[in-house]
């Protein structure tokens, strides 16, 4: 048995592996007895014991060197068993070694190797795994093994080992009949996982190889049969030159956008090298020691080199790192030129776009690493920008172009206003529905917040435009948007911003109409085809609404205009549209965030403006299901925050508040806000907070609220009007009592009123509307307040506590700390008791 | 560089039977394990593995939600996405897709960007590094999905994705080696497809 295994692993290339000691004959018998049993078992139900038996069966097959369909079938099942659970499936050490041997075994079909690697990767990290691969020349197998090793979590420095092994092969002469192209992705992964693997001289060597692959790949097509690698003689058959994507004969060196019937080995490597180029430049540019994004050091070094590398003819004299940069630069320039060609095939057209983006990103990176590239890149990208502005197909490349100008325009002393202007004005308005672009655009904004926080006014003033992305793609963008929203908010934009937020669902509906009217015959409509908002579309076009729509769809901040109410009416048929509802759901979150930011810097004037805005807009909201209630809830709590921050607003906005509370309709339509406003009046309308708070003012509020309470309690309880919540009644009573405690002439009036509550509560009109519990609540509160008012000085102390009392310092005051201590003690006891009872 | 590729189920696609209501990862491959924080306390290989699986499930769930929301917003009923007949070619170009970001620490150590694509009742997703070329990632995902459809008969009845792990692995080894996104023009794709067919035929 042991011999058999040895034979399995000691074939060609396998001589270094330790032979696995096979399992006992008894085990083998058990396994063959169970043959077939394991196959029918679903992976989730399989027990450890059964797994063991199944492994024994595979052991038997592998030891017999049976690598046919049955083995493959079993390995497939084993892969499923180990991968389908999130829990660890223990495989015997011997079995793991056997799988390894099967992977190494030169006669193993690729399918078996792939399956063994997949199983070993699935059980990783595994302590039983020891791979010896120093002598493996088969690059494909090495790549498979690397995938297993790199999955081990680098506990034993596996990444480093793999990196060194791969580098060694890449440095040395290519093994006969082997392709290096399987190794470049491994290298790329290694430098991603561990930044400090390679040494300076290794990096230099790889730089040289990359230059060869990138710049000097053959421009003749490969031959049909793969005839032994790099140095075979392709000239014998003259397969013809490489062409461009549009079919023209290639004019310059080979790139990923060069087309041939067949590719030579070095052309494959060219493609692989470019695919990993950005990663490699970042890595080698930082000498493998710094984090990828800090490039300050290399800029310095670049300026010294700038004179030397200004012309490419002298580039041969440069060290490999600089030479690679030079070649990367030329490669990217060629890609930019090639992306302008008209591709014959659609997939190539897509690739052109991706290549253009990559080329611009690499050029930006090169300029960050070496400023001598700046001027050449600058002229190239200026031309490119001109080209891109006229062609929306390549719109995604505009972002890296803008990024380049953001990074370098100051150093290069060029005015790049036009780039930003075009980006922020045209793109969101025209392409808000492109979700990938929207995501990248917002990412771009987020990555560059530090620039925009400076003096880029164009960014800040474009917020209405950027909100189009959010309005259309709200579900996918909301979490990105919360990162950039704070940047837009300052004293000058706050008011308009709050309006924009409240109108966001309206904007979604308007964008929908915009699409419907712009592309009426689109084959694949971007909008909800089940909805047919004919009246809305007519309204979208008529001159009466046009100005309002234009305002709603404005690209830049331009202050606030009153009267979007006609739009709410017009867009009503679209309020149930799923996209509008999704957008409406994000608004409360954004409002909350808005106030968190704005309250950090807002002064009294701004706070007053915001409070007035909230009161005004509470009645002017787009009628989306549940939107109003959610926004009202948020508005109420924010109003209280504003009052707390600036209590004088109750005095300063007395006119507005009187008007708001004097309108009985508000109780029903905005109950939440109404209750909070009344509470705030009771809390903050006091000379304690503002010396301007006169007795006359208190009386005025008192009279208004008294009339209101009288109206709802004495006249209203009828079936025709909706009942008002008992909370409104209790809050009104409390506020009246609070006001009376501050202007004591009013006490008799309140007391009388409160005493009437009992008869009111027992009237048949009331009992029919309110439940017993509600009535009870109202009466209890009335009685409490009446009792308090019997001792006016106590009432004042309780209802209008001075600042010292409301911000207690009991812990410093020995006299008053007793009640606190008692309270604490009793709470602890209660808690203890409740814990015990659990 | 791609960190992981996964195929998962999408619930709410009309199947009301028990299993379909949970999101399940049918296949996943992580390309090189993530650097883990040096946190104190015991952490064996079992926990590392559990963490990896949970991370992928978290991605699948988020992709599922994103997909649901997108479909909702489009206003089309979910039944629209069910196959009309198994013979009809699926227009991959129109398959709904999207992208979202994962913040650092949730669920991966570092920030990631996920590109996902819906294929009727299945979802495929690439978990990429934050500044990956998204155009390339998206087209690679579409390419992978097309190949999966062709070589696994992913959606036809009776095909068992779960037992075709080796085919999925072979596709990934060719077109997303070690998680490296490749700039493949159409001729390169054709050449690789030929190689793939040869290796699968054996």
Average pLDDT of chain A, as a whole number: 82
Rounded CA-CA distance A838/A206 in Å is 67
B191 neighbourhood in chain A, CB within 8 Å = 262-263
Inform me whether the pLDDT recorded for B134 exceeds 70.
yes
Mean pLDDT of A634-654: 94
Q: Establish whether the linkage from the previous residue to A125 is cis, with ω within 30° of 0.
A: yes
Q: pLDDT tens digits for A328-351?
A: 999 999 999 999 999 999 999 999
pLDDT of residue A764: 76
What residues in A contact B23, CB-CB < 8 Å? none
Task: Tell me A86's DSSP state.
Answer: S
Band of pLDDT at residue A31, cut at 50, 70 and 90: very low
Task: Count other Cβ atoms within 10 Å, centred on residue A148.
Answer: 26
- Give residue A292's pLDDT: 41
Q: What angle do CA A278, A283, A289 make, to 5 degrees?
A: 160
3-state secondary structure A8-40: HHCCCCCCCCCCCCCCCHHHHHHHHHCCCCHHH
For chain B, domains (ranges, CATH) are 2-201 (3.30.450.60)
Q: Which residue has the higher pLDDT, A482 or B83?
A: A482
pLDDT in tens, A247-279: 999 989 999 999 999 999 999 999 999 999 999
Give dist(CA A113, CA A340) in Å, integer: 43
Rounded CA-CA distance A710/A694 in Å is 24
Nearest Cα neighbor of A309 from A367, A255, A261, A225 is: A367
- Is A476–B49 a contact, with Cβ atoms under 8 angstroms apart? no
Residue A315 has a pLDDT of 52
Q: Is A275 part of the contact surface with chain B (CB cutoff 8 Å)?
A: yes
* pLDDT of A835 strictly over 70: no
pTM (2 d.p.):
0.85
A150 touches chain B (CB under 8 A): yes
A695 three-state secondary structure? helix
Interface check A263 vs B, CB under 8 A:
yes
| From A79, A193, A531, residue closest to B165, measured CB to CB | A79
* Residue pair A214/A277 in contact by the 8 Å Cβ criterion: yes
> Quick check: B163 and A528 CB within 8 A?
no
DSSP per-residue letters across chain B: -EEEEEEEE-S-SS--SGGGGS--EEEEEESSPPPPP--SS---HHHHHHHHHHHHHHHHHHHHHHHHHHHHHHT--GGGGS-S-TTSPP-GGGS-EEEEEE-TTSSSSS-EEEEEEEETTEEEEEEE-TT--HHHHHHHHHHHHHHHHHHH-TTSTT--GGG-HHHHHHHHHHHSGGG------HHHHHHHHHHHHHHHH-
Give the confidence band of A808 by pLDDT, cuts at 50, 70, 90: low
The average pLDDT across A737-763 equals 87
Is pLDDT of A3 > 70?
Answer: no
pLDDT of residue B163: 82
β-strand partners of B7: B27, B124
How large is the average pLDDT for residues A365-384?
A: 92
Q: In Å, how far is A703's CA from the nearest CA of chain B? A: 50
Higher pLDDT, A546 or A677: A677
Lowest pLDDT segment from A289-298, A736-745, A828-837? A289-298
Determine the Cα–Cα distance for residues A683 and A548; give it in Å rounded to an integer. 40
Give me the residue from A76, A345, A439 closest to B99, CB to CB.
A439
What residues contact residue A672 under an 8 Å CB cut-off, 6+ apart?
A629, A632, A633, A635, A636
CB A728 within 8 A of CB A671: yes
Residues of A in contact with B163 (CB under 8 A): 76-77, 80
Task: Please indicate whether, in this complex, the C-beta atoms of B166 and A528 are within 8 angstroms of each other.
Answer: no
Question: Which chain A residues are Cβ-neighbours of B187 within 8 angstroms?
Answer: 259-261, 263
A387 vs A262, A344, A345, A606, CA distance in Å?
32, 20, 21, 45
Residues A451-504: tens digit of each pLDDT: 877 667 888 889 999 999 999 999 999 999 999 999 899 999 999 999 999 999
Mutate to test the interface with B, among A86, A243, A258 (most CBs of B within 10 A): A86
Q: Are A641 and A635 in contact (CB under 8 A)?
A: no
Cβ contact B169–A347 (<8 Å): no
Band the pLDDT of A20: cuts 50, 70, 90: very low
The more confidently predicted of residues A714 and A702 is A702
Tokens encoding A496: 């308009």
Q: For A120-139, what is the mean pLDDT?
A: 81
Subunit contact B183:A114, Cβ cutoff 8 A: no
CB contact under 8 A, A440 and B181: no
Mutate to test the interface with B, among A85, A88, A117, A364 (most CBs of B within 10 A): A88
Check whether A13 has a pLDDT greater than 90.
Answer: no
Query: Do the chains contact at A347 and B166, CB–CB below 8 Å?
Result: no
Contacts of A158 in chain B (CB under 8 A): none
**Cβ contacts of A347 on chain B, cutoff 8 Å:** 139, 185-186, 189
Q: What is the DSSP letter of A722?
A: P
Cβ of A527 and B75 within 8 Å? yes
A529 three-state secondary structure = coil
Interface predicted TM-score (ipTM): 0.93
Is the confidence at residue B158, as pLDDT, over 60? no
Give, in order, the Cα–Cα distances in Å from A778 to each of A321, A405, A734, A798: 82, 67, 11, 20
pLDDT band for position B154 (cuts 50, 70, 90): low
pLDDT tens figures, A600-614: 999 999 999 999 999
pLDDT score for B40: 53
CB contacts, 8 Å: A194 with chain B = 35
Q: How far apart are CA B49 and CA A124, in angstroms?
A: 7
Residues with Cβ within 8 Å of A721's Cβ and at least 6 positions away in sequence, in order, are none
Give the containing element (helix H, strand E) for A224: none
Query: Which residues on A lie below 8 Å from B190 (Cβ)?
Result: none
The pLDDT tens digits for A221-250 are: 888 754 444 555 545 556 789 999 999 999
**Mutate which: B18, B35, B45, B68, vs A, most A CBs within 10 A:** B45
pLDDT confidence of residue A90:
81
């Amino acid at each position: 048995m042991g011999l058999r295994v040895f034979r399995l692993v000691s074939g060609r290339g396998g001589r270094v592996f330790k032979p696995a000691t096979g399992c006992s004959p008894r085990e083998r018998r058990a396994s063959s007895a169970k043959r077939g049993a394991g196959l029918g078992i679903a992976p989730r139900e399989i027990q450890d014991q059964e797994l063991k038996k199944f492994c024994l069966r595979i052991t038997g097959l592998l030891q017999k060197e049976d690598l046919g369909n049955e083995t493959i079938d079993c390995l497939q099942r084993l892969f499923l068993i180990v991968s389908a659970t999130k829990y660890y499936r223990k495989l015997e050490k011997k079995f793991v070694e056997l799988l390894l041997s099967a992977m190494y075994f030169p006669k193993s079909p690729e399918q078996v190797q792939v399956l063994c690697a997949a199983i070993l990767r699935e059980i990783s990290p595994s302590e039983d795994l020891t791979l010896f691969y120093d002598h493996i020349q088969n690059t494909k197998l090495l790549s498979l093994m690397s995938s297993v090793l790199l999955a081990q979590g680098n506990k034993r420095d596996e990444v480093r080992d793999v990196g060194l092994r791969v580098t060694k092969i890449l440095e040395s002469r290519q093994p006969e009949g082997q392709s290096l192209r399987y190794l470049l992705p491994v290298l790329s992964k290694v430098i991603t996982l561990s930044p400090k693997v390679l040494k300076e001289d290794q990096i230099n060597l790889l730089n040289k190889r990359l230059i060869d692959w990138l710049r000097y790949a053959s421009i003749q097509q490969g031959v049909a049969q793969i005839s032994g690698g790099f140095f075979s003689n392709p000239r014998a058959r003259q397969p013809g030159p490489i062409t461009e994507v549009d079919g023209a004969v290639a004019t310059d060196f080979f790139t990923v956008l060069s087309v041939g019937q067949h590719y030579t080995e070095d052309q494959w490597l060219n493609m692989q090298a470019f695919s990993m180029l950005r990663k490699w430049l970042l890595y080698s540019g930082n000498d493998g020691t710094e984090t990828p994004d800090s490039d300050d050091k290399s800029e310095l070094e670049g300026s010294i080199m700038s004179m030397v590398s200004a012309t490419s003819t002298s580039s041969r004299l440069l060290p490999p790192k600089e030479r690679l940069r030079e070649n990367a630069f030329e490669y990217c320039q060629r890609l930019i030129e090639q992306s302008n060609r008209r591709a014959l095939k659609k997939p190539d057209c897509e690739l052109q776009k991706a290549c253009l983006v990559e080329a611009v990103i690499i050029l930006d990176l090169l300029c960050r690493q070496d400023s001598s590239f700046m001027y050449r890149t600058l002229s190239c990208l200026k031309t490119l920008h001109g080209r891109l502005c006229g062609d929306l197909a390549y719109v995604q490349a505009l972002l890296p172009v803008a990024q380049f100008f953001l990074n370098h325009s100051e150093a290069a002393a060029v005015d790049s206003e036009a780039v930003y202007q075009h980006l922020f004005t045209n793109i969101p308005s025209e392409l808000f529905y492109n979700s990938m672009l929207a995501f990248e655009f917002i990412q771009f904004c987020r990555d560059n917040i530090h620039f925009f926080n400076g003096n880029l006014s164009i960014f800040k003033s474009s917020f209405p435009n950027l909100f189009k992305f959010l309005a259309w793609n709200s579900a996918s963008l909301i979490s990105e948007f919360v990162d950039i929203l704070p940047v837009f908010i300052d004293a000058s934009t706050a008011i308009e911003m709050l309006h924009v937020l409240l109108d966001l669902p309206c904007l979604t509906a308007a964008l929908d109409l915009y699409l419907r009217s712009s592309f009426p015959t689109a084959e694949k409509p971007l909008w909800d085809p089940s909805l047919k908002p004919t009246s809305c579309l007519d309204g979208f076009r008529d001159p009466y609404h046009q100005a309002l729509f234009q305002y709603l769809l404005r690209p830049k901040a331009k202050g606030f205009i009153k009267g979007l109410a006609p739009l709410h009416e017009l867009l009503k048929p679209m309020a149930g549209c799923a996209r509008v509802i999704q957008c409406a759901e994000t608004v409360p979150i954004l409002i909350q965030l808005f106030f968190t930011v704005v309250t950090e810097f807002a002064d009294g004037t701004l706070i007053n403006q915001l409070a007035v805005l909230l009161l005004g807009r509470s009645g002017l909201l787009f009628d989306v299901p549940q939107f109003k209630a959610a926004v009202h809830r948020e508005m109420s709590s924010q109003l209280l925050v504003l009052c707390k921050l600036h209590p004088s607003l109750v005095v300063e906005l007395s006119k507005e508040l009187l008007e708001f509370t004097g309108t009985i309709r508000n109780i029903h339509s905005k109950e939440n806000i109404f209750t909070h406003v009344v509470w705030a009046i009771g809390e903050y309308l006091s000379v304690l907070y503002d010396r301007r708070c006169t007795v006359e003012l208190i009386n005025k509020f008192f009279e208004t609220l008294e009339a209101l309470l009288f109206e709802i309690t004495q006249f209203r309880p009828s079936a025709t009007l909706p009942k008002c919540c008992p909370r409104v009644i209790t809050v009104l009573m409390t506020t009246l009592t609070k006001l009376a405690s501050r202007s004591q002439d009013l006490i008799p009036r309140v007391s009388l009123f409160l005493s009437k509550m009992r008869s009111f509560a027992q009237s048949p009109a009331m009992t029919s509307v309110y439940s017993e519990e509600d009535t009870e609540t109202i009466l209890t509160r009335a009685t409490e307040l009446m009792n308090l008012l019997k001792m006016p000085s106590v009432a004042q102390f309780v209802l209008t506590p001075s600042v010292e009392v409301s911000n207690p310092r009991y812990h410093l005051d020995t006299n008053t700390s007793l009640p606190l201590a008692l309270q604490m003690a009793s709470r602890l006891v209660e808690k203890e008791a409740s814990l015990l009872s659990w | 560089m791609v960190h992981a590729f996964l195929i998962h189920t999408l619930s709410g696609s009309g199947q009301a039977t028990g299993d379909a209501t949970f999101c399940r990862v049918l296949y996943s491959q992580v390309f090189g394990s993530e650097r883990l924080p040096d946190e104190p306390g015991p952490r064996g290989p079992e926990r590392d593995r559990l963490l990896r699986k949970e991370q992928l499930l978290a991605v699948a769930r988020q992709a599922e939600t994103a997909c649901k929301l997108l479909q909702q917003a489009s206003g089309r009923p979910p039944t629209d996405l069910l196959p009309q007949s198994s013979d009809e070619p699926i227009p991959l170009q129109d398959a709904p897709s999207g992208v979202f970001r994962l913040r650092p620490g949730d669920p991966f150590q570092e920030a990631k960007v996920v590109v996902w694509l819906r294929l009727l009742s299945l979802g495929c997703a690439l978990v990429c590094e934050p500044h990956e070329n998204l155009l390339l990632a998206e087209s690679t995902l579409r390419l992978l999905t097309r190949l999966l459809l062709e070589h696994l008969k992913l959606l036809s009845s009776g095909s068992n994705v779960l037992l075709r792990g080796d085919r999925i692995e072979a596709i990934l080894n060719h077109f997303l080696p070690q998680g490296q996104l490749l700039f493949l023009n159409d001729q390169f794709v054709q050449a690789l497809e030929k190689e793939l067919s040869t290796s699968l035929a054996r």
